[in-house]
Amino acid sequence: MFIESAKNTGRIEVVCGSMFSGKTEELIRRMRRAVFANLSIKIFKPQIDVRYSASDVVSHDAKAIASTPVAGSADILAQAGDARVIGIDEAQFFDQGIVDVAVELARRGVRVIVAGLDMDYLGKPFGPMPALMAVADDVTKVHAICVRCGDLAMYSHRLSKSDKLVELGEKDIYEPICRACFNRLQEEGSL
């Protein structure tokens, strides 16, 4: 009987949470540990995310790692090559095919680390993130701190009046808030 070793077993890890919760920072930390372990890596991000860099994945606290911007999930599978660890940032912006891509990479024995917003600015599940969490071997939910009361934040409150689902921005457009503050804004009709 053949038993595959743990080193050849693929897996899917999802890091999710609100804006300013440290998702990208955690992705970068895990990818750097893979490099330290002499594993070949590749990191992908959606082409639309050019907030800090057109090519690098950059956290809000300016930690950065080289990445490959791609137009869609199929590009990740096509460009994965022989990488043992694949990082995917801002997964909520990808098409639903990202779920099948992650599953296929894990089937091939690749460790797939995915970071993304679990909810949009309205507090609704965001894009392919719920499906990615469902197929993941491990889900880590990280939290920001509510800028209004100091509690743990899980919502990305949009400060602008735009009603577009995707609006790239930083602290000028979004703030992390807790459930109580989110509910209060909802009751006031401010969301």
Distance CA 26, CA 30 (A): 6
Distance CA 1, CA 141 (A): 38
On whether the CB atoms of residues 13 and 111 are closer than 8 A, the answer is yes
Options 25, 90, 170, 175, the catalytic residue: 90
HEC sequence for 92-129: HHCCCHHHHHHHHHHHCCCEEEEEEECECCCCCECCCH
Radius of gyration of the chain (CA): 17
Q: Specify whether 90 is catalytic.
A: yes
CA distances from 162 to 119, 156, 175, 186 (A): 17, 14, 15, 16
- Of 110, 91, 115, which Cα lies nearest the Cα of 30? 115
Distance CA 177, CA 100 (A): 32
Active-site residue numbers?
90
